[in-house]
Amino acid sequence: MILKLAIRNLLQKPLTTLLSWVLLTVSVGIISMLLLLQGQFEKQFTGNIKDVDMVIGAKGSPLQLILSAIYHIDAPTGNIKYAEAEKWMQHPYVEKAIPLAYGDSYKGYSIVGTTKDYLDKYSAKILTGSLYESDFEVVAGYSLAKKLHLQTGSQFYSTHGTDGHGEEHKDKAYTVTGILQPAGTVVDNLFIGNIESVWKIHEHHHHDDNDGEAVNASNAGSHGENDDHHGKELTAVLLKFRTPVGSVQLPRIINSQTNMMAAVPAIEMNRLFSLTGIGIDTLQYVGWGIMALSALSIFISLFNSLKERKYELALMRTMGAKRVDLLMLLVLESVVLCIAGFIAGILLSRLAIWALSASFESSYHFEIQPWTLNIPGGVQLLVLTLLLGMLAASVPAIKAWFINISKTLTHE
Amino acid sequence: MITGASGKGKTTLLHLLAGILTPSRGSIAIGDTDIAKLNGKRSDAFRGKNIGIVFQRSHFVQSLNVLENLLLAQWLSGNKRDSIKVMTMLEQLNIANQAGKKTARLSQGQQQRVSIARALINKPRLILADEPTSSLDDEHCIQVARLLQEQTALNKTALVIVTHDQRLKNIFQHSIQLV
């Protein structure tokens, strides 16, 4: 009954209630959207650097190297000689080295030439079809296959560069031999084949494409696995160390003594997070600010209505209402409003993310699940919202507690 | 009926009787209960169960309609909410057709009848009426007074009216004047 009365009282002043509710909704919406984005963003990014202690590539920006070699959302920094990279791939500190040759794409999705180790690293399993066997065969990630409507047996021409507007390599077509299971990693949005395919595609390209692609520079005629890697080029190598000493020593040596660059993903990603973190923090402060404002708005509307409702409350006392009942009534009015704001805010944030997810998807191949039930920080946010509601109601509620019934009734 | 000029303490007496004010000395007995000795919660509960109050100008919980106001009165006194009982009561007072309206949209006379209904709904042992007719015209004054008389008789409820309204003298014979 008190709950019903509280709701009725809220509806009695629709505009004031609306203002407080909208403020709450927006603040909860902003905060929970940021929490969700940040959570999924960091989960995706850190999930993908698992087991990659260091990346070797051409000199340039280390962050760019990481973004291109691991996440495939940036252009490659350039090429490195296979022979030179191989020395480090066989270094005693190195447990596993995965060579990558990329730089071509199909409709904006990277084609990565690599070894089977790459698929193992991401525990990628075949969903339909089979693994690639020979040159110019690739497996397609689950998400991109769905989006581009690719099936086993589909053929396509790769495009030079990663933006989808480059020149097509018309002479050789790739064949999709299989689709991978959805994994929630970068693999979902990649074509994966063997390195030789990438090399061969570029054998006949003798024009000056030195802008970051695995190119056969000298040894154009020779094929085969082991004998003529020399002269071939790679875009990057992903390395996992046997010992932590490796990640301390090797990057320094490689960066100072070779014309290659070594970048440590953990360091670069921390740098990136701290950069984007500033923006997220600022937005979060805005969110908290609006929330404080909404608490103030609830407080003022309760406080103002208390003046008008003093008589009403005294009347309820004459009908047998206890002090606690009045206290509950005011607190409930505020708390009900807060819960309504919280629910609407959570929905709003999900809607916003759902609206944004398409654009994230296409420009960064970054997938967000807006409808996940697991709301990061959701419980804390709810508790905080409720506390805020009680705080806003506390002064009016205490005033209601000490209402002098006799005086209120005689001085209307 | 208790009469007296303004400022003589009529309302104070009524509030003392209702347990809204506590006397600094002495005792007030309603039935076997000395309400001067009841404190806080117990006083509220006693009032809700045993006393119905009618005020000079009717006040209601604004956000609720007539029916809900009466249901609230039932609930606050610790009784079950019983809308059939409420409708019967409204029927007796001839305002059943107003049950769904917000109280602010009723006329003065209708509002006062709802107040009486609210005071009676829990079958209290005592009805306290504070200037129940002062703001009504002659016709409604007589109506409301008759209604109070009839209904309290019907429910076997004691009635105390505090007023300076001379029109009531003809209706209520027992009268105490405060001087």
Tell me, what's the pLDDT at A236? 92
Tokens of A295: 């608490």
- Distance (Å) of CA A254 to CA A221, A323, B173: 31, 76, 113
One domain for residues A298 and A167 = no
| A8, A324, A405: residue with CB nearest B64 | A8
Q: Please answer yes or no on whether A323 and B40 come within 8 Å at the CB atom.
A: yes
- H-type helices in B19-137, by residue range? 40-50, 66-76, 83-92, 108-120
Find the residue in A nearest to B21 (Cα).
Answer: A406
**Span B49-58, pLDDT tens digits:** 888 888 877 7
In a domain, A269, yes or no: no
pLDDT of residue A108: 83
Higher pLDDT pick, A45 / A66 = A66
Q: Does A321 contact B48 at a Cβ distance shorter than 8 Å?
A: yes
Which helix (DSSP H) or strand (DSSP E) does residue B127 occupy? strand B126-130
Look up the ipTM and state it: 0.82
Q: What is the pLDDT of residue A65?
A: 92
Residues near A124 by beta carbon (within 8 Å), at least 6 away in sequence: A139, A180, A181, A183, A185, A187, A192
pLDDT in tens, A363-389: 666 666 667 666 667 788 888 888 988
In a domain, A73, yes or no: yes
CATH class (in words) of the domain with range B2-178: alpha beta
- What band does A220 get if pLDDT is binned at 50, 70 and 90? very low
How far is the first Cα of chain A from the last one, in angstroms, to the nearest whole number? 26
Are A285 and A339 in a shared domain?
A: yes
**What number is the average pLDDT over the span A76-88?**
88
A17 and A127 fall within a common domain: no
Strand B176-178, strand B2-4: pairing = parallel
User: How many angstroms separate the CA atoms of A22 and A377, rounded?
Assistant: 21
Q: For residue B23, what are the CA distances in angstroms to A317, B1, B36, B159?
A: 18, 21, 6, 21
pLDDT of residue A283: 84
Which pLDDT belongs to residue A340? 92
One domain, residues A220 and A108: yes
The predicted model gives A205-212 an average pLDDT of 46
Residues A203, A74 share a domain: yes
pLDDT(A218) > 50: no
A243 and A282 inside one domain: no
Predicted confidence (pLDDT) per residue in B151-167, tens digit: 888 888 888 988 888 88
A122-133 exposure pattern, b = at least 16 Cβ within 10 A, e = fewer: bebeeeebebbe
Query: In whole numbers, what is the pLDDT of chain A averaged over residues?
Result: 82
Task: Let me know whether A12 and A115 are in one domain.
Answer: no
For residue A148, being part of any structural domain is answered with: yes
Q: What percent of chain B has pLDDT over 70?
A: 100
b/e sequence A51-85, b meaning 16+ C-beta within 10 Å: ebbbbbbbebebbbbbbbbbbbebbbbbbbbbebb
Domain match, A161 and A287 both: no
Give the pLDDT of residue A223.
38
Task: Quote the pLDDT of residue A112.
Answer: 92
Q: Do residues A385 and A341 lie in contact, with contact meaning Cβ atoms separated by under 8 Å?
A: yes
CA-based angle A156:A162:A163, to the nearest 5?
Answer: 95
Task: Round the average pLDDT of chain B to a whole number and report it.
Answer: 84
pLDDT at A376: 67
Domain count, chain A: 2
Determine the structural domain holding residue A221 and report its residue range: 54-263
B81 contacts A1? CB cut-off 8 A: yes
Q: Which residues of A touch B (CB under 8 A)?
A: 1, 5, 8-9, 11-12, 309, 311-312, 315-325, 405-406, 409-410, 412
Quick one: pLDDT band at residue A238, thresholds 50, 70, 90? Answer: very high
What is the 3 state secondary structure string of A271-320?
A: HHHHHHHHHHHHHHHHHHHHHHHHHHHHHHHHHHHHHHHHHHHHHHHHCC
What's residue A237's pLDDT?
92
Q: Are A316 and B72 within 8 A, CB to CB?
A: yes
Indicate the helix (H) or strand (E) that contains A336. Answer: helix A323-364
pLDDT confidence of A362, banded at 50, 70, 90?
A: low
Over residues B2-18, the pLDDT tens digits come to: 888 777 788 888 888 88
Tell me, letter by letter, the H, E, C secondary structure of A353-395: HHHHHHHHHHHHCCCCCCCCCCCCCHHHHHHHHHHHHHHHHHH
Going by pLDDT thresholds of 50, 70 and 90, the confidence category of residue A204 is low
Number of other CB atoms surrounding residue A99 within 10 Å: 24
Handedness of CA B59, B60, B65, B68 (dihedral sign): negative
- Measured in whole angstroms, how far is the alpha carbon of residue A320 from the centre of its chain? 56
Which residues in chain A are contacts of B71 at CB distance < 8 A? 1
Instruction: Give the closest-approach CA distance of A283 to chain B in angstroms.
Output: 39
Helix (H) or strand (E) holding B158: strand B158-162
Q: Give the integer Cα–Cα distance in Å for B160 and B168.
A: 13
CA distance A328 to chain B (A): 13
pLDDT band at A212 (very low <50, low <70, confident <90, very high): very low
pLDDT above 70: residue B35: yes
Instruction: Indicate if the pLDDT at residue A207 is higher than 60.
Output: no
Q: A166-199: per-residue pLDDT in tens?
A: 777 777 889 999 999 887 788 888 999 998 888 8
Q: Which two tokens stand for residue A152?
A: 């086993």
User: Is A190 inside any structural domain?
Assistant: yes
My answer on whether A391 and A291 are in the same domain is yes
Six token digits for residue A102: 């990329």
Is A268 within the bounds of a domain? no
Query: Higher pLDDT residue, A110 or A170?
Result: A110
